[in-house]
Amino acid sequence: MIALSVFIGCAEKIGIQPIGENEWFRQEMRSALTSSRPSEFTMRFLRKQDLIESHREDPISVLISLEHDFAQNQDRETLFALIELCYAEAKKTDPVTEETSKFYFSCMKHAYSYLFKQELNPALNTYSHRFLWACDFYNWSLAKYLIYRKEQPNVVRTGSMLPLLEQELFYDGIKSYLSWSPRELDQYEVTYKYRITGLMNHYRSSGIGVPLILVRNLPKHRDREANEQFLPRHHQFCAGTAVVHFEEAPGDGNEPRPKIKAYVSIYDPRQTSKIQVNNKSVPLEMDFTTPIAYFLDQIPSLKGTEGFFKPESWTDMSGLYMASPYQPGKIPVVFVHGLFTNTRTWSVMFNELAGDPLLREKYQAWFFLYPTGNPIMFSATLLRNSLKEVREALDPSGQDAAFDRMVLVGHSMGGLLSKMMVQDSGNIVWDTVFDKPASELNISDDERALLEGLFFFKPLPFVRRVIFMATPHRGSELTKKKLAQVGLNWVKLPVRVVDFEKGFTPLIREDYKNHSYYSKKHVPTGFHGLRPDSLVSQTIAELPIDSKVICHSIIGNSASANTPGGTDGVVAYKSAHLDGAISEKIIKSDHNVHTYPAGIIEVRRILHEHLCPVDNNEVIDGKPSEEEKKK
């Protein structure tokens, strides 16, 4: 009895103590990923095996011992302890060294087996924290290794032997699932290294692999494939995901363990969201936002004011740009910016739309850059010619049905340019300015062709829908302010534009010259085209939109949402309202309606609607179908 009392007295009293739920969660969710201590599961495993003290004194020997145990019993719980303890050991050295890199690679290999080796016991429980941790241990180990390798002067070549905890593995090179050769890779960055600023949301999805920013050195323009003609000039910034695959090959019978081979696969997450591993469909870890932010952070920032005041400085850069190579089967969405801005103005919207899996699958984003100081008619002609050029270069025979469902999204002045892509000028615009047919003007054939290109236009047959955002269909009263008129003195139009305008000035109708809008001192700029009293703009505003095209209006009201009237500070409702638009959304915002969540949500809704079967989404004789009316 005394001996029993002594025994009981030496042990801690068994019972329970109150614990806050926050502390409980912290304890249960702790792992070597976020703490200096392993998870409670691994600590329990070490206690069961009486390895706590051994691991404290000689962790490497314990890891080697556990590897031998796992080779014998193929136990999944032993394997998880190995995964976490390898990662914990690697974490002790920062930055990574050649010695500690083997712990990250061992962690990766064991995590790969834990997740994909079906014969292990017990069966994989995808509801356990350990399953998600194993994914994270794999991804973070690969990320750490990739960051380490990027900083080393020597490249790991195919056929190299890489160290593991006890063994070496055979490196079998890279398998690329990108649309371009890995030889064109200029550099890569691991997205885990960066925090996003300036964008509304960070879009990523969980899975296997490490999301990357891939910087591609583009070939010279003459050496590019046809589908790459409209990419940026020098570099393409792409999203990628890297996965290391491990394979075991049986030895020759004299080796205690199978040989291990590893190779890296690089995927384009815009094309591949799932991969097959051991006949199992596995989602990729993907990050769509960080590459966008990195691209915007790296490229020189064009100043929209320069494009207005010095349009000639943008001449060589103007045109259509694609975010990725042309992809047949995906509907083009063309974004057209407004006055004083450039293509960067669409950054928030582009990121939000890229975060929608269905839109990412069904659409491709194109951006039109132009100097907004040029006359609107010149800019509209440039947009029209750019769209025709893309069609001729990429789908000349009209085989791509998705191309024929193009959507234009225009903000402010960009909306006016977009509208002119779906209007038929007939002779109306010409007759507003000239009192003689083009054939009777005493000018050269080249001058006549340019004039006709400006004043005669027809709907582009492949544009099916236009979204107008804060578009001044009837001009903006702001352009009549005295300060705005003074600012026009600083606009320096390209010499070719000035000379051309002055060249046909004597041919203009006298009543047009005598109009209060007409200035004998200044060649009209893009700003003049936004004046409510611009005769050309008034004429274009009255031209009907092609009956086959569906139009939507998104309008800002600085006072309140869903309330017709008022202004966004630049464009009044009465100017932005468009009769015949199939939908009109008024949001509480300033003129930058395209950067507000409500405006982006409406664009997203419209693009989803555009994916409806064509039969339910057509406009008949200029009126919405019955299906459209119900929507």
> Chain-centre distance of CA 341, in angstroms?
20
Contact 374, 311 (CB under 8 A): yes
What are 579's two structure tokens?
């009769």
DSSP 594: G
User: Residue 122: CB partners within 8 Å, gap ≥ 6?
Assistant: 76, 77
**Nearest alpha carbon to residue 554 among 466, 476, 625, 478:** 466
Distance of CA 464 to the CA centre of its chain: 23
Structure token digits, residue 521: 């001192």
Coarse DSSP helix, strand, coil percentages of the chain, rounded to the nearest 5 percent: 45, 20, 35
Q: Say if strands 619-620 and 623-624 run parallel, antiparallel, or are unpaired.
A: antiparallel
DSSP letter, residue 488 = G
pLDDT single digits (tens) 54-98: 999 999 999 999 999 999 999 999 999 999 999 999 999 888 888
Residue 220 corresponds to which amino acid?
A: K
Question: CB atoms < 10 A from the CB of 316, how many?
Answer: 8
Q: What is the pLDDT of residue 142?
A: 98
One DSSP character per residue, 283-305 reads EBPEESHHHHHHHHHHS----HH
DSSP letter at 34 equals T
Q: Are 428 and 539 in contact (CB under 8 A)?
A: yes
Query: Which domains can be identified in the chain, with CATH numbers?
Result: 30-150 (no CATH), 167-290 (no CATH), 300-626 (3.40.50.1820)
The partner residues of 170 in beta bridges, in order of sequence, read 161, 261
3-class SS string, 515-575: CCCCCCCCCCCCCHHHCCCCHHHHHHHHCCECCCCEEEEEEEECCCCCCCCCECCCCEHHH
What pLDDT does residue 257 have? 62
Phi/psi of residue 300, each to 5°? -60, 140
- pLDDT for position 19: 83
Q: Cα separation of 295 and 298, whole Å?
A: 5
pLDDT score at 23:
82
Report, as ranges of residue numbers, the positions in the chain whose pLDDT lies below 70: 1-11, 250-258, 299-314, 479-506, 512-528, 614-631
Query: What's the mean pLDDT when you consider all of the chain?
Result: 87
Radius of gyration, alpha carbons of the chain? 32
